[in-house]
Structure formats: structure tokens, C-alpha cells
């Protein structure tokens, strides 16, 4: 393996998350408008809770859209560590590396102590994808880090 390799990467698009949030906003808005006519104490609480959920879904939707337009960043593979957008991970810090898909593969690096991959360790290579995945696979096998071809479980 070469001394140090730098690849361009970007966060996943989040189209599925955006569609899901739009569905949640639509159903909650409809429920809020339909149930608004009944007014006892429980219904008032539920309508405020519904408004709270709609605001949360909008926040997630906006967050996902903003992440979609963030400029590409670098993912650096060096002999002693991986560096994803200035966050360094040593082999002893990594629980598992997951690769999802064959074309435009989604990569998720799960640190030790985490069950779900943090969003800042979830990305796609945008240039030289095959070479980047091959380098990452070699790095993982050299450092005995588990690499699997499974679905990446990520936050948002």
C-alpha cells in the first residue's frame, strides 16, 4: 500500500430521508387540522405535541437539504489511521467499516462504542471509487478491522 492516499468524498444525498419527512409532515399536518375542532385537555396536549413533531420534521428536512449541498471533502487513508474531514480514526477506534452497494457505494465507519454510524463517518467516494474502496479494503485487512458488505445504519 502507498504511503498516503487522499480521495474526494461527500455525504449521502438523503433523498429517502427527505421523502419520509415530507410524508410525516403531510400526515401530521392533516391530523392536526382534522383534530383541531375537538377541544378537551388531552386534545390540546396532543395538538401541541403534533405541532412539535411537525417542527422537528421540518428541522430534519432542512438539515438534510443543507447536507446535500455541502462541498465535497477529503478522506485520507494513511498507514496508521483514516481521516474523514479532519476527524482522525485509528484502527483501535474502529468497530466496523460497512460498504453498502456496488455502484456509488455508501461507506459507513462505526467507531467502537457506537451501534449506529455517526453521520460524519458516512460518505460516498465521488472520484476513483473502485480504487478508493480497494485501498480501504486493504487498509482494513492490514489492521484487522472488520469490513463487511451490509446496509449502513446511520443517523438521519
Helix, strand counts (H, E) of the chain: 3, 8
Confidence (pLDDT) at 1: 45
pLDDT at 106: 86
- Rg (the chain; Cα; Å): 20
pLDDT, residue 32, reads 64
Per-residue CA distances from 115 to 87, 95, 145 (Å): 19, 9, 16
pTM of the model: 0.73
What is the mean pLDDT, run by run of 10 residues, along the chain of 156 residues?
76 80 79 59 68 85 85 87 87 88 83 86 86 88 87 73
The label of the residue with cell 485520507 reads 76
Alpha carbon 56 to chain centroid, angstroms: 18
Amino acid at each position: 500500500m502507498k504511503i498516503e492516499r487522499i480521495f474526494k468524498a461527500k455525504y449521502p444525498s438523503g433523498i429517502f430521508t427527505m421523502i419520509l419527512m415530507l410524508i410525516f409532515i403531510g400526515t401530521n399536518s392533516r391530523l392536526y387540522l382534522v383534530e383541531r375542532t375537538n377541544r378537551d385537555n388531552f386534545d390540546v396536549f396532543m395538538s401541541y405535541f403534533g405541532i412539535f413533531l411537525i417542527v422537528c420534521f421540518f428541522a430534519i428536512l432542512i438539515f438534510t437539504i443543507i447536507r446535500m449541498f455541502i462541498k465535497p471533502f477529503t478522506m485520507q487513508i494513511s498507514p496508521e489511521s483514516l481521516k474523514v474531514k479532519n476527524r482522525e480514526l485509528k484502527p483501535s477506534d474502529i468497530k466496523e467499516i460497512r460498504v453498502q452497494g456496488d455502484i456509488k457505494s455508501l461507506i459507513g465507519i462505526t467507531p467502537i462504542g457506537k451501534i449506529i454510524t455517526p453521520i460524519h463517518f458516512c460518505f460516498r467516494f465521488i472520484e476513483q471509487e473502485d480504487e478508493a474502496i480497494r485501498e480501504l479494503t486493504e487498509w482494513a485487512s492490514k489492521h484487522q478491522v472488520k469490513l463487511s458488505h451490509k446496509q449502513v445504519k446511520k443517523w438521519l
